[in-house]
Amino acid sequence: MTALYSRWKSLKTRYKVLVYTLVLFGVFLLALPWMLQKGFEQALLKQGAESVHIERVSVNLFTGRLEIFNLEVEVEKHQYLHLGHLKVNLSWTALFHKKIKIQELAIFDTRIEIDYRPGERIRVAGLSYSLDKKSDKAAMPEEKKDPFSWGLGIQSLELNKAVLELKTPELDKHIEFDKVLLEKAINWQPDDAAKLVFEIQEDKNHLVGNFQMWPFAEKQRLSGDIVVKNLDLSTYRKYLPPEILELSGLVFGDLKLDVVNEGGELKITQKGRFSFQKLAFEQQDLRVAGDLVNWDGDIQALVRKGHAAVKTQGEWHLKDIGVRAQDADIKLGEVHWKNHSQVDVTDGVPKVKTDGELKVSHLAMADKTIALDNRHLNWQGEINVTQSDKSGLEIVLPSNALTAEEFLFKQSGTEAKLQKLDWKGPVNVTLKSSKKADTQTDRQADAKNVDVAKADTPMKVALSDSHIAVTDVAVKANDAKVDVNQLDWQGGLNITQSSQNGLLVSLPSSALVMEHVEFSQPKTEAKLQHLDWKGPVNVTVKSDEKNAESKKAQTPVDIVLTDNRIALTSVGVNADGSKADVSRLNWQGGIQVGISPHPAVQTDGHLDVKQLAAAYQDLSAGLKALDWKGKTQLTVSETPQVKTAGQLAVQSVKLDNTRTKMTVADVANLKTGLAFTAPQAVSLKGLNVKGLKVAASPEYPQPLLSTGDVTIDHANVKNNQAVDVGTVTLQDFYLTLAFNEETKLGQIEALKAALQPQPKTKSEKTEAEQKAEQKAEPNDTAKASQEKAPPFRLQQFDITGDSHVHLTSTGITPPLNQNITIQTWHIGTLDSAQAHEKTPLDIQAAIDRFTKVTAKGDFQPFSPKVNADIKVNIQDMDLYAFSPLIRRSLGYRIQSGSMNMKSDIQIKQDILDADNRLKLVGFEMEADSVPVPSKTKGDGLDKAASDVDKAASDLGKAASAGSMSLALNLLRDGDNNIDLSVPVNGDLSDPGFNIAQVISVAFFNAMKGGSKAMLAMTLQPYGAIYLAAEYAYKKAGEMTLQPVQYQPGLDEWRADMPEYLKKITKLLKDKKSVTLKVCGFYNQSDRDYWVKKGLKGTELEDKLYQLARQRQIQVKTWLVEEGGIESSRLTTCYPSFEDLPDSGVMLSM
């Protein structure tokens, strides 16, 4: 019983639970619509809605039906959502298979507003969602979610009378959906086709579509028709960025569309037509307008990851098209374009290929400075467009044929016309845009308040292997004019256009033939019969915005040729009185031609000219061959100018003055870096002249100078008023100075006359010139006295190599004939503009083999008063060669002796303070039979020179009575030398001479005189040599040694003489204080030898003189080089005749 009671009690409890559950479930069903209504309202309020109202909610859990009536959502008292009626039917049975199947989804009478704020939020139906990714990440940590695996399907979706309000900061759009129907979109039945039908009306725009879809299939597909009518583009302008100012036009289309998506690969096929009518598009600095743009054909497109491709085949028809970009206008009358095209984009880089035929009835292009017009254009060929990277675009026409007629090009001050153009060949167009460059351009534009849209946008057009034939070409540029009858060109062409750099035309390879070319400009004419040219060219046309409004403004045009080969025949140029004619000219190199501000030509290359003749005033130039490598600029203006810089080489060039009959310059070979500006300046750089002769005329047949080699690093002469010379080096220099009786150089005077232009005769002068001369005549003398010497600057002057100065004179008897060898010649900077700067001086010369002359120091040649600090040193100068200089005044000649002199010359502000140390070794003088001419007030001699000549004349008269020998003997020291210290000081206009010092030296040496006998005793064991010589040659007045004996008539000594010279060498080394006189002489046997050879008279005397001189030099050389004796201890003599049995060289101490 107990068990039965427990069981009954358990059943009763279960029945109670079941009843309670059923009651509660019934209550839940009754309250569910209300609960859902409140739940929806609360959920919407939590999502940001301020006010939510739902009229009612209907739910049937058994059928899976849910209905919502009149749902409204408001935020800030504005309605964002109105849902008239929403009906949803779910399939419960599908849920047991983890599938969500919407049997029916219908939305009626609905208005939804979407408010989008980029980067902030999006509000859909009043519900806000933040678009701030940073805040989302900070607020919500990332969680790994499992993928949704339930099936989803819509059996039927219907949208009727729906309105979508789309609002963004840029637009406010109202879109009405009359009907949208989607059927059988079920993802677990992927092979069943879904159906999509829509009809959208937007104002007057009408869009109808009927498609079949397979959205859940492995191979997704959309196929159907779409019709567009009266689609007004202006209604979409609000969707576009604000920089697009205008978008208008009507779109019509009837298209068949098939879209397939398989594994991420999208394929689109279109067939049909569409057109734009009354099209207009405008943004800043760009406007495009057209009456008609029509397409009729097929399009195929392929899109997959990193790759997209489009193929088209059909016809374009354009009518009345206008494009305005910045200040440029392009107009097209009518265009027909039949083509087959293909577009391929890989990794964002596009490629386009098309071929077809293009016909343009009228083409016009213009901007502020450039205008182009073409009546008819016909093109056939192929076009390939490639974007090598995201900043560049390349357009290639591998095959191309163009015909243009009645072509006209204008640019401010420039106009070009041609009657017909035929062109065949490939083309390449490149558009380049750099982000870095754009950024830099933007910064520059901001800094200058210039519109960034006007920044440089490079464009390049390249032609290769092209052929162009042009007839009847005429080009005008201001006052310049060029006419070409026939032009034929083959080669390559590159054209670059940019707003900043202008237009650049480059011909990398070309061959041009021109016939009958003429160029003219005021005062300048040029004609060319025939031209053959091969090589690259660059043409640049720049727009001058600053002077664009000026009527006189000229557009800069530059034509640049590089590595060109040009052959000209029959060229003639006449430019303002200067003429040049060339029978043939060959050029290889670069040429640049410009027209602003004046027509100008610049060259850089290699010029080869044959048979050139030129004339300018009295000067005429001719050459057989000219070779030039360098740069030249010719500017044609009222006064033509020529500028040149480069390397010039000429052969057999001669410059003559036809008026004076002088050959100004005769050059065998010249090479130089030349910079020449005519008529203002001349500049030389790296001048090298070989075989130069200057100033030769019938009166002076011996050139003023000749050189083996002349180098000048630079020399500038500006406006004939300033001279700037760099480092001048003369190698193997030979200067002949022929003094006339007036002590002037005749060659220089004749050269000056030849370089001066011939004065105009009275009949040749204009009336204005004659009046100006008459007015200026009274002041000529005053002006001449006030004129200052032009500024002069010499960087450095050096003489090297085997260089000599030959002095000759007809004013001295016998004539001076002296050769000076220049060993070192260096003069530092001479600058008249820096008068107080010191100029260094270093001169080293040799008058014979052993005489050394040096001068070192500095001086100020351009200071108001003379300043100098110079040290002069003369070593071992044989004095006999200068006898003609003293015998003129004294009637004496120097028989023997050498001079050593050290001078320290100090000049400060015209005050001279010089210390001179003079030493005469073995100095002897003898009376000469030549009468001493009387001295007059000769022109050109200053007061100091006259006083010296008077004193010398008086001294000569005293010397005739024997006092000269006495005076010299009083000055000799114990070694028979004269050693003087002669200070000279005072004002340069009246220098003082300290005669007391000379007297004291003479007195001192007279008191300490000794005898030759004492000297002879000190020469043991060489006294026997002396005594024998004195006995044999009876030279009791001298300490004479045995002479060095020579073969009669020859400069060959006897075989035993070297042994004898070794003894002399030992004597000199043992007796350091002894000096030796080496006196060459000739005797009767020498004279007889050369008489038998046929010599006589002056020729014989000169030969004997040179023979004796050569012998004494040979002995002295042996003692110095073989014996090691200092040359300062050896002096030579004036060669003379001796009545002795053996000829040779006398040695005496």
CA separation for the pair 1045, 1052 (Å, rounded):
9
> Hey, what are 29's tokens?
């069903």
> Hey, what are 1052's tokens?
């060959």
Contact status, residue 270 vs residue 299, Cβ threshold 8 Å:
yes
Give the three-class secondary structure for 735.
strand
The conformational region for residue 325 under phi > 0 = left, psi -120 to 50 = alpha, else beta, is: beta
CA separation for the pair 761, 763 (Å, rounded):
5
* Phi, then psi, of 1009 in degrees rounded to 5: -65, 150
The pLDDT value given to residue 1091? 94
The radius of gyration of the chain from alpha carbons, rounded to an integer in Å, stands at 56
> Hey, what are 334's tokens?
């009518």
Between helix 943-959 and helix 883-890 the angle, nearest 10°, is 80
The pLDDT value given to residue 707? 86
Per-10-residue mean pLDDT of the chain, 1149 residues long, equals 64 69 67 70 70 78 73 76 74 62 73 72 66 52 51 67 70 68 68 75 73 75 83 72 82 84 80 85 84 86 80 87 84 85 79 84 83 84 75 77 83 82 82 52 45 53 81 84 86 75 76 85 84 82 56 64 82 80 83 76 83 80 84 77 81 82 83 74 79 80 81 77 81 76 68 72 53 51 53 84 75 62 86 84 81 85 82 77 55 66 80 72 62 41 40 40 44 64 60 40 37 39 39 47 88 89 85 82 92 90 88 89 87 84 85
Which helix (H) or strand (E) is 1136 found in, with range? strand 1136-1137
- Own/partner contacts of 794-797, CB < 8 Å, gap of 24 or more, are 794/725, 794/728, 794/827, 794/829, 794/830, 794/831, 795/713, 795/725, 795/726, 795/727, 795/829, 796/726, 796/727, 796/728, 796/826, 796/827, 796/828, 796/829, 797/727, 797/728, 797/825, 797/826, 797/827
CA separation for the pair 607, 589 (Å, rounded):
8
Between helix 963-971 and helix 943-959 the angle, nearest 10°, is 100
The pLDDT value given to residue 962? 41
The pLDDT value given to residue 267? 81
Q: What would the DSSP string read from start to end of 616-656?
A: ETTEEEEEEEEEEEEEEEEE-SSS-EEEEEEEEEEEEEEEE
Residue 82: HSE in the Cβ half-sphere, 13 Å Cα cutoff? 11
Give the three-class secondary structure for 395.
strand
Rounded to two decimals, what is the model's pTM?
A: 0.53
Instruction: Look up residue 150 and give its DSSP letter.
Output: -
